[in-house]
Amino acid sequence: MPPLPAHSFPHALGRLMPALGPGVSLIVGGLGALAAGLPPVIAWVALGGGAAVLVAFVLPLLLRVPMIAFDEHGLRARLPGFGAVAWRDIERVRLVRLPRRGRAFLVVDRTAEAQRRRRGGRWPRMLARAAGGKDLAAPLDGLTATPEQIAAVVQLAHAHGTGAVGVDSGPAPRRIR
């Protein structure tokens, strides 16, 4: 079987404006505080906070840092505690939409052995519980592809990575009550 090509899904550039606003506002406020003659510590705190917001939120968008990625070894998500999960440790991958806000999640159910070996982080486990899963979940909204496309590609990659090509990796997307 040919090796699985690596693929990633970064945030869409449409998410740039909401992330850019607070950082630029803090920087402008800091410059205004300097110009108004306020104590310099206020200005420097505002300038530092604005720079930190821009680096933390805008830089990953501009650098196209992948939120979800996979290769022949497994699946990775850029969430604290999710990390990399080998394909052999994944039982099922599925798309779940929450009804209230329509948020989409990629729910990853790992094998019991993989769960015993390494417990997932608190944030992905909390998202999984909210989405009706038992182990890990990653949000899919605001990425470069639709949630349905991402889930379909990851399910195919899971089938390829486990050698079960042609086998369904999970049920169709469902809504949680």
**Conformational region of residue 162, where left means phi above 0, alpha means psi within -120 to 50, and beta covers everything else:** alpha
Residues with Cβ within 8 Å of 171's Cβ and at least 6 positions away in sequence, in order, are 94
* Per-residue pLDDT tens digits of the chain, which is 177 residues long: 567 777 888 878 777 777 788 899 999 999 999 999 999 999 999 999 999 988 888 887 777 778 888 888 888 888 777 878 888 999 989 998 888 777 888 888 888 888 888 777 777 888 888 888 778 888 888 888 889 999 999 998 888 888 775 544 455 555 554
pTM summary value: 0.70
- How crowded is the C-beta side of 174, counted as CA atoms within 13 Å? 11
CB distance 167 to 87 below 8 Å: no
Where does the chain show beta strands of DSSP type E?
7-10, 66-70, 74-77, 83-86, 90-97, 104-110, 136-139, 174-175
Could you tell me the residue ranges of all domains in the chain?
A: 13-62, 66-175
